[in-house]
Amino acid sequence: VIRFVARENVPRWLNVAVPLASIVLAAIVAGIMLLATGHDPLTTYRDIFQKSITQPGAFSQTLVSMTPLMFTGLAAAMAFRMRLWNIGGEGQLYMGAVGASAAGLFLHGLPGPLLILVMIVTGVLAGSLWASIPGALRAYFSTNEILTTLMLNYVAANVMYYLIFDSTSYWRDLTSPSAKVFPQGKYLVPAANWPQLQLGGVAIPFGLIVALGLAAALWGMIRATRFGFEMRVLADSPAVGRYAGIKTRRKVLSLMAISGAIAGLGGASQIGDFSHVLDPRGLEQAGFGYTGIVVAALARYNPVSVVVTSFFLGMLVNAGFALQGPGFPIGLTGTMEGILLFCVLGAEIFTRYRVSIRRRHAVPAAPAAAPPAAMAAAATDGEGR
């Protein structure tokens, strides 16, 4: 019988080896799926690598894809860490984009740096207010935040669509000839475009620099502040936290607001760094909020690891855009993200438990030995094919 025995302490190397092994496993599983549907996995993997790293300009493009994922990944990581399941990063990012584009359009006369600052502030506020709705419902009525945050994603998407497609709102372009045929948003003035840092031929978006600073700040906050300490206590045991006099309700409220603020900042970066216009379809199709959950889960909710995992998923997302077509269906990105997440999630048991194969109690030795032997035979069979 195969059984899992809890480990008393986890050897350090396992924390590295198990995630690496699960990434390899994910690549194999995804490869089998590609083969089964008539695609060549090696070609696909080579294409992903070329389009996201080695081709000219590809690396800069990966940084572009990575930036929003780092924001939504950090947003999810902060909340999930305290078992506050904010899956509303998607909608909070939309609202951040709505807020930041409003500020950028309305205050178009301001000098660049000030305008960028105002955009950041409005994006943060809009995202955190939107997240505070489910935050307050959870804090005061213990309403399930998984469902409320998710429902509000759909509501936020409808708000954006209304502003651009179904109203004469401030965000909508009503003057240009093309806008009379196809509804579209107003473009921001060039002063509202966030700057880029050129570094040896690689363009680094301003938003990415902000996100890196934020990751470091959040890591410091969790490690070194009272808030971070209380957060960790509540994450480990809500009962202990309450006993120690930590105000759970206030923690839930502020953590949801922080998480929403980070996602909202991602929305502001999306407007300032990349699109320069409120584009509901583009934002909805990108699904940054949902991919952010994968980023956070792969990073095990650690803000510093989010930097690595968002880069990794940025590669995949960027390659998905670049390769779109019959050889690389759109759905492949999500499929591979899902496989990766399942493998990493499932493999975690090997860090927490030791696998022991032993004989069942009170059963004669011979029949008990049969199943493992049969399985070993089946395994070698499988390899032989």
Main-chain dihedrals φ then ψ at residue 193, nearest 5 degrees: -75, 130
SS3 content of the chain, % helix, strand, coil (to 5): 75, 5, 20
The token pair at 372 is 């493992």
- Cα(56)–Cα(58) distance, rounded to whole angstroms? 5
Tokens of 332: 């492949």
Q: Assess contact for 334 and 111: CB atoms under 8 A.
A: no
Distances (CA, A) of 155 to 93, 126, 129, 189: 13, 14, 14, 28
> Contact region for other proteins (CB under 8 A) — 110-118, 134-142, 205-213, 214-222?
134-142
Total interface residues for other proteins by CB under 8 A: 51
Part in contact with other proteins (CB under 8 A); list of ranges 12-20, 92-100, 308-316, 344-352: 344-352
Of 54-113, which residues contact other proteins (CB under 8 A)?
80, 85, 87
**Stretch binding other proteins (CB under 8 A), from 193-201, 217-225, 253-261, 334-342:** 334-342
Q: In this structure, what are the phi and psi dihedrals at residue 5, rounded to the nearest 5 degrees?
A: -110, 130
158/248 with CB nearer other proteins = 158
Q: How far is the CB of 381 from other proteins (least distance, A)?
A: 21
Measured from the CB atom, the residue of 93 and 116 that comes closer to other proteins is: 93
Site for other proteins in 17-46 (CB under 8 A): 37-38
214: which 2 tokens? 């934020």
Nearest to 227 by CA among 212, 210, 247: 247
Distances (CA, A) of 350 to 6, 14, 22, 355: 9, 8, 11, 7
**Angle (deg, nearest 10), helices 145-165 and 112-141:** 140
Q: Which residue lies nearer to other proteins by CB, 174 or 244?
A: 174
> Per CB under 8 A, which region of 103-111, 226-234, 338-346, 375-383 contacts other proteins?
338-346
Out of 152, 214, 233, 268, point to the residue binding other proteins (CB under 8 A).
Answer: 152
Should residue 273 be labelled a site residue for other proteins when binding is judged by CB under 8 A?
A: no
Stretch that binds other proteins, among 58-66, 148-156, 236-244, 367-375 (CB under 8 A): 148-156
Among 105, 116, 293, 307, binds other proteins (CB under 8 A): 293
User: Minimal distance in Å, beta carbon 136 to other proteins?
Assistant: 10
Between 110 and 298, whose beta carbon lies closer to other proteins? Answer: 298
304: Cβ contacts below 8 Å, ≥ 6 apart: 215, 216, 219
Among 1, 4, 180, 225, binds other proteins (CB under 8 A): 4
The dihedral built from the CA positions of residue 154, 159, 160 and 166, taken in this order, carries a sign that is positive
Site residues for other proteins per CB under 8 A: 4, 37-38, 80, 85, 87, 134, 137, 141-144, 146-148, 150-152, 154-155, 158-159, 161-162, 165-167, 287, 290-291, 293-294, 297, 326, 329-335, 337-339, 341-342, 345-349
